[in-house]
Structures are given as C-alpha cells and as structure tokens.
Amino acid sequence: MRITLLSLLLLFVAAATPARAELHITRDHGGYVEEYKVKYKRVRDKGERVIIDGICNSACTLVLGIVPMNKICVTPRASLGFHQAYYDKAFTFGMKITSAEGTSDLMSYYPDTVKDWIRRNGGLTTDMKKIKNGVDLWKIIDPCPEEW
C-alpha cells in the first residue's frame, strides 16, 4: 500500500484534533456508591462532558455533585431518580435496610439545587422520587445545546 502525502497530512490532522470525550447516560439504574464516586472523579479529572439522555437513578445521580455542572446537560429523554441509600441486599437477606450514614453521604455531594428539590418533595425516602424533563429538571441542569 502506498502512503501519499495527502494521507499523511490527513492522519496528522486527525491525531492533532482533540477528541470530544463525553459520557452518555441513557439507562443507568445505579449501583455501588463508591464505584460511582471513582467513575465520576475520573470523568471530572479528564474534563469530559456528561449527557444525561435517559434514566439516571440512585448512585448515578452522584454525577451532579462530582462533575462540574457546566459539563453536564440533559436531553428531553432525561430523568433523575433519588432515594435513601440502603445496604446491599445480598448482605441483608434480601431486605431493603436503609443507611442513615449512606444517605447523609449522598446528600453531601448534591448541589443546593438538588437538595432543595429533594426537600420540596418530602425528603429522601425508600421510594424513588423522579424528576423528568421539564422546568424542575432545568432548574438543576441545563438542557443540552444543539452542538452536543
């Protein structure tokens, strides 16, 4: 295969162009809080953008307190779900046992806009409280601009 000057030039331009790194959240029901803290700190430290384009529940919502808000946006399909933290059911014989310490830890990460919404909606409980696309969500996170 013959490499032409034009091929080399195109390869050089592609290598020199910064990648548009972004995390696309489409269907994330949460999981272990500590794993999400590590994941989102890595996203933050790399300067990546986050597009919430679907379900972001439970530990997924930690993104709001770890990644800068100016790096996060929501699409019309976005929804957030909040509830009290609870212990892994594998260790509690399948029962949902809440953790006051874990819930306090979650709340400590959230920005004031999230904390205010949670308070206005009765605080965290064992039931999932959801914010769907609309004014309440846009008070917390900006809609994604066209170019994202």
Q: What is the pTM of this model?
A: 0.82
The β-bridge relationship of strands 49-57 and 22-28 is parallel
Q: Could you report the per-residue pLDDT of 40-52, keeping only the tens digit for each?
A: 999 999 999 999 9
Transcribe 47-61 into DSSP letters: T-EEEEEEEEEGGGG
Phi and psi angles of residue 144, each rounded to the nearest 5 degrees, phi first: -65, 135
- pLDDT value for 10: 43
What residue type is 23 in one-letter code? L
18 pLDDT more than 80: no
How high is the pLDDT of residue 13? 43
Instruction: Collapse the DSSP code of 6 into the 3-class scheme (helix H, G, I; strand E, B; otherwise coil) and give the result.
Output: helix
User: Which residue is listed with tokens 């910064």?
Assistant: 18
What CA–CA distance (Å, rounded) separates 95 from 41?
A: 31
| Tens-place pLDDT, residues 75-126 | 999 999 999 998 877 778 888 889 999 999 999 999 999 999 999 999 999 9
Identify the residue with better confidence: 18 or 87. Answer: 87
Checking if the pLDDT of 141 tops 70, the result is yes
CA dihedral of 24, 28, 34, 40, whole degrees rounded to 10: 10
First-to-last alpha carbon distance for the chain, in angstroms, is: 37
pLDDT of residue 69 exceeding 60, the answer is yes
Query: In whole angstroms, how far apart are CA 69 and each of 6, 17, 80, 85?
Result: 41, 25, 15, 23
Instruction: Report pLDDT for 21.
Output: 76
Model confidence at 5: pLDDT above 90: no
Answer yes or no: is pLDDT of 148 > 60.
no
Give the residue among 87, 88, 79 at the shortest CA–CA distance from 60. 79
